Amino acid sequence: MRLRAEQLQGHLQQGLKPIYLLSGDEPLQMMETGDTIRRAARQQGAAEREVLHAEGSGFDWNSLLGAANSLSLFAEQRLIELHLPSGKPGREGSKALCEYAARPPEDTVLMIRSGKLDKTALNSKWAKALDSAGVIMQFWPLKPNELGGWVQRRLQAVGIKANAEAAKLLAERVEGNMLAAAQEVDKLLLLHGPGELGLAQIEEAVANSARYNVFELADTALLGDAARASRILDGLYAEGVEPVIIIWALQREVRSLCLMAEQLAQGQPIGQVMAAQRVWDNRKPTVSAGLQRHRARTWQSLLRMAGRIERIVKGAEPGNPRDELRQLALLIAGVRLV
């Protein structure tokens, strides 16, 4: 069975399926859907929760079958979460998932959180087995023209009334990152409470966000202030900002600077280049500083590095996200790492 995110609540009113496969690269919808399924499982008596991480070739797929076959000691229902970042279970994993789907335990809900699955993976034997026995949900980032409406509905859900122009401003500020948009909505509720908010209030709140924010980190690195960029990164971690948001902000800036540096190398005027990339007037000195510090070849290298860090943050490659993010910020700022 295939479900869209907006269909989940209605589906759960009819009871839980034994298997849920959540796949995609949009963290907010994945996170909130997972929370909703966990909550539904608890309401149906699932007091036990076991988490398995199928990362790399060292994972023992027998542990999934063993967990499924073990007796529940403290509850009538259980929840097993299987994290599959790569979306590729391999031969042994495919066999284990097919075996599980053929005879899912009556007292257990299995929720699999997977990376993005391509068409080949969705047509695989293991995915079809899970589809037959349970539910598959896929999540993608919203299109640019969809985010403004989503933000407005998100504001309404917490009791904030804002016009389309104000919602569009907030959507433009986060540029497609739904998790960042949700955090901005939560911040607006904390600052102003329910009620009507005008464009000026939202503009002020977005411009003056928390003590540290991912946009400030990117700008500080572009300005070449390596020490402050490192402090901001520590502050982001202290405030619980998700690494996926941090790499999104840095990668967004690096990609933009990479494109602009390439256009400058082709002889295009800097004013024309910035206008094409919609650089705000108050950010032009910041962007100029970054373009003067690194040439196109360096920005291309930084973009490849940012892509690798994104895979590390999402669990697709080994590494320490915090250390890698610090190195990227320092390199953007012009520090030469030994």
> 150 and 56: one domain?
no
Mean pLDDT of the chain: 86
Longest dimension (CA), the chain: 71
Q: What is the mean pLDDT of residues 276-290?
A: 85
pLDDT, one tens digit per residue, over 54-73 is 876 678 888 888 877 775 55
Are 200 and 233 within one domain? no
Model confidence pTM above 0.85: no
118 lies in the same domain as 10:
yes
One domain for residues 158 and 99: no
CB-CB contact of 315 with 85 (8 Å): yes
Give the pLDDT band of residue 302 (cuts 50, 70, 90).
very high
Identify the CATH number of the domain in which residue 203 sits: 1.10.8.60
Q: Are residues 128 and 179 in the same domain?
A: no
Domain that residue 175 falls in: 144-207
Distance CA 313, CA 247 (A): 8
Q: Kindly tell me if the per-residue pLDDT of 297 is higher than 50.
A: yes
- CA atoms of 171 and 162, how far apart (whole Å): 12
| Residue where one domain finishes, among candidates 110, 139, 168 | 139
Query: Residue 175 and residue 181: Cα distance in Å, rounded?
Result: 9
338 domain-assigned? no
CA 141 to chain centre: 9
10 and 126 inside one domain: yes
Q: 132 and 19, same structural domain?
A: yes
Q: What is the pLDDT of residues 18-29, one digit of tens each?
A: 999 999 878 788
Residues 45 and 149 occupy one common structural domain: no
- Amino acid identity, position 68: A
Q: Is residue 82 part of a domain?
A: yes
Residues 151 and 46 grouped into a single domain: no
- The answer as to whether 337 is a domain residue is no
CATH code of the domain in which 55 resides:
3.40.50.300
Q: Are residues 85 and 192 in the same domain?
A: no
Assess whether 23 and 105 both reside in one domain.
yes
- Count up the domains in the chain and report the number: 3
CATH number at residue 237: 1.20.272.10
Same domain? For 110 and 16 the reply is yes
